[in-house]
Structure 1
Amino acid sequence: MGKLYVVGTFDTKEPELRFAAEAARSTGAEVLLVDVSTQGSPGGADFDPATVASFHPDGASAVLERTDRGEAVTAMAEALSAFFRTRDDIGGVLGLGGSGNTVLVTEAMRTLPVGTPKLMLSTVASGNTAPYVGPNDIAMMYSVVDIAGLNAISRRIIANAAYAAAGMVQGKIPSHEGDKPAIGMTMFGVTTQCVTQARKKLEDRFDVAVFHATGIGGQSMEKLAESGFLRGMLDVTTTEVADHLVGGVFPCTDDRFGAAIRTRLPYVGSVGAVDMVNFGAMETVPKEFRNRNLHVHNAQVTLMRTTPEENRAIGKFIVERVNRMEGPVRFFLPLKGVSIIDAPGMPFHDPEADAALFETIRAEWIDAPNRKLIELDNNINDQAFSDAIAETFLELIR
């Protein structure tokens, strides 16, 4: 059983942090207090600000000698993230604070593996928590009153948070002998047929976790891969790259494909649904795109067909990262269309745009013993294509 790290700023929240620590200790949890103050500290924590700040790449002075509070908080968040990476006894993390401390602590929480308990008691937890949580299993708990003094209300809420965090740290997860190794697949509505067909060929041997490629979906799959939950990835649907580069509502980040690079897990990928950029309802489509080839997917989602120029940029983004993968890799090009609506007679059928995508990937591909580019004369949703990616994955994972 690891220790519960209680994290916050002692210069403004010392009584509340100590109260939380004592509540957690009363349950039998072993607790360590971490002070991430940036404007002076009363001392008394197990890890003081200077200790945490020393893990910043540029040293403690890069954190503690900044006069701008926002810059200091950003630097301390980087230092706390690095500090967490050096600890091998973290059973869970409990953070307390307002908006600044929430940003600071949750950034560091996001570096921890999925499954490590993370609870943030925050004044901003009743609003949009997506920027704090991302693809991670961070529990956000609203403080109701400001974390500014102990009173009948705050004591109850802080204690509840402490008991919850301590319970997660001390709880034992029952094992299940019937569990199969897990793998991840990415899917969008227009690649559902492909993924469903491939999944049926794999689910007798694997727990197949399917991730909706809505920006956070790809991040979630990669986070699970880096947390050790996945044995491999079938990254069929990489549409989030199109939104990232063109400005859609379901973007990935620049670190897309980073987990496959770092973990060297078996990876089978493709270019599913990169023929489209996603927006909300038709009236939300930016003015500069109103004259483009638009398709109403449903009342809340409007799709825009990517151009040859955009597809060249998408192909370059993907191939540059796949070329850096050192694990077993196979990447598939479906030459007759990358989605169900990129086929003859369908609204996004555009051979010129697809050709720009394929030609870019071919031109910049670096072949290697571990890494092969495979072209199939199919639409991505054809049974033959699904069979090929499933069978290839089985060969790689053997």
Structure 2
Amino acid sequence: MATVVLIGTCDTKLEELLFLRSQIHQLNGLQVVMIDVGRNSVSHDAITITRTELITQFGGKNPPDTSIIPQNELLKFMSSCVTNAVRSLFTAGRIQGIISAGGSGGTSLAAPAMRTVLPIGFPKLIVSTVASGDTGPYVGESDIAMLYSVVDIAGLNSVLRDVLSNAAAFIAAAALGYATRQSRLQSATEGKKKKRIGITMFGVTTPAVDAIRRYLSDLPRSDYETLVFHATGHGGRAMEKLIREGAIDAVIDLTTTEICDLVVPGSVMSAGPERLSAAAEAGIPCLISLGATDMVNFGPKETVPERYAGRKLYVHNSAVTLMRVDQEEAKQVGEFIAGKVRGSKEPGKVELWVPKGGVSVMSKAGGVFENREVDAVLFGTVKAGLEGSEVRIVEDERDVNDEGLARDIAAALVRLMGES
């Protein structure tokens, strides 16, 4: 059995929400917890948590007068209420899936509850009129699935019935699958849980990551599971999120290129200023390298800001243009990395590896981004920033994609994890 939370504004979309509820309920007898987040109170037997109950139980000690506050403040308040409600239901183990249906307001109201409370792997689905546009602000680094409603959620019709019926089938199947997985995890026959290792990768560091994965999987009695994150901004943030959720046991942060996009204005693949923070704060074994810190990412070549005219550019494909980092940018990247690494909770579990032969396939000898002077600034800045710390620095003459270096890095992490 499984239970799905259904979030919606019952004062404006009750008919549609009731249809969605009925479609979920009739699939293998799933239960539905329906939460009303509308502006005005509605009475209906199908509503599990009414608007009044939501505010009274989950709105804090002194909730505002929702009849007079502006719409944007109401959305923010109701979002906090439903977030608290979902947290309570999830913590109690009462739910196995969540779904919402609405326009931009309903979507922005429900998304934070899914994004901030529920872990990766918990089924989350939003049916929305804005799902065909930029969904980044709603999804963030979570695994929220979004389904475009095609027509407005304003009265049932043949199109909306089909969309909502599909949504019901999607969330029902996912919730049942999640419930089954959780049951198996709790079973004594599940066996030893594998250690989860997060690895960051970019196209120009793929050979190294492939070699690391092969090394770990070929170990006798291998108990390792690798989670590879594409270092495109969202990938780095996703890894940081999973570390904070306790879903990663150790990290090979081979590809720290997102920091270049953080320090270079106008670039498009920054993971934000919290990059490298989660592992340092958690104190888990962490091996860090400088993969792809020779480059910054832009969109199509015509979108590269005018201020970078004259810089070394490389058109990776029609949608991605790379720019070679210069000495000042390399210095900023090095200072950022050193500052984060120095703050590690367990510095003895951290190593920083410097691939002096090249930080990507493009900056090794003969590569289009080869520039030993800039590399020297980066390497020197990192070393100087970690001087006097307990973090071990390993300088290696090989390039980052050298298979031998990759295997040595993997072996070093195994050692940091206290294993032979």
**Aligned residue identity for 1:241:** I
Once the two structures are superposed, what CA deviation does each residue of 1:121-155 show, in whole Å capped at 9, x if it has no partner? 11122334344334432222222321122344434
Change (3 A) 1:102 1:394: same
**Correspondence for 2:206:** 192
**Correspondence for 1:365:** 386
CA shift for structure 1 position 185: 1.6
Between the aligned partners of 1:46 and 1:272, the Cα distance in structure 2 is: 51
Once the two structures are superposed, what CA deviation does each residue of 1:188-229 show, in whole Å capped at 9, x if it has no partner? 222223223322211222333333222222233344445555
| 2:149 aligned with 1:143 | yes
Q: What SS is found at the alignment partner of 2:250?
A: strand
Of residues 217, 230, 233, the one that matches 1:212 is: 230
**Aligned residue identity for 1:322:** V
**Correspondence for 1:31:** 32
Between the aligned partners of 2:381 and 2:53, the Cα distance in structure 1 is: 48
Between the aligned partners of 2:20 and 2:387, the Cα distance in structure 1 is: 54
**Correspondence for 1:126:** 132
Once the two structures are superposed, what CA deviation does each residue of 1:243-281 show, in whole Å capped at 9, x if it has no partner? 133132222133323442455433211121111101233
**Correspondence for 1:47:** 49
Matches within 5 A, 1:1-398: 3-27=3-27, 28-37=29-38, 39-42=39-42, 45-49=47-51, 52=54, 60-61=63-64, 64=66, 67-86=69-88, 87-88=90-91, 89=93, 90-111=95-116, 112-171=118-177, 172-173=180-181, 181-204=195-218, 205=222, 206-226=224-244, 229-246=247-264, 247-261=266-280, 263-326=282-345, 328-365=349-386, 371-397=391-417, 398=419
Q: What SS is found at the alignment partner of 1:375?
A: strand
Residues matched between the structures, number: 395
Between the aligned partners of 2:163 and 2:361, the Cα distance in structure 1 is: 50
CA shift for structure 1 position 80: 3.7
**Which runs of 5 or more structure 1 residues have no equivalent in the other structure?**
none
Between the aligned partners of 1:306 and 1:22, the Cα distance in structure 2 is: 56
Q: What SS is found at the alignment partner of 2:214?
A: helix
Q: What SS is found at the alignment partner of 1:114?
A: coil
Once the two structures are superposed, what CA deviation does each residue of 1:326-365 show, in whole Å capped at 9, x if it has no partner? 3532222223432222234433233343333334333433
Q: Which moved more, 1:138-147 or 1:174-183?
A: 174-183
**Which runs of 5 or more structure 2 residues have no equivalent in the other structure?**
none
Q: Which moved more, 1:327-336 or 1:103-112?
A: 327-336
CA shift for structure 1 position 179: 8.7
Change (3 A) 1:337 1:133: same
Q: What SS is found at the alignment partner of 1:110?
A: helix
CA shift for structure 1 position 305: 1.3
Between the aligned partners of 1:160 and 1:198, the Cα distance in structure 2 is: 40
Once the two structures are superposed, what CA deviation does each residue of 1:223-248 show, in whole Å capped at 9, x if it has no partner? 44455554322110011121133132
Q: What SS is found at the alignment partner of 1:242?
A: helix
Q: What SS is found at the alignment partner of 1:11?
A: helix
Between the aligned partners of 2:105 and 2:120, the Cα distance in structure 1 is: 23
TM-score (norm. length: structure 2): 0.81
1:50–1:60 contact (8 Å) kept in structure 2: no
TM-score (norm. length: structure 1): 0.85
Q: CA RMSD in A?
A: 3.2
Between the aligned partners of 1:30 and 1:3, the Cα distance in structure 2 is: 5
Once the two structures are superposed, what CA deviation does each residue of 1:57-91 show, in whole Å capped at 9, x if it has no partner? 99633x94773323432454355445433432331
Between the aligned partners of 2:395 and 2:313, the Cα distance in structure 1 is: 28
User: Identity percentage over the alignment?
Assistant: 39
Change (3 A) 1:34 1:362: farther
Q: Which moved more, 1:245-254 or 1:283-292?
A: 245-254
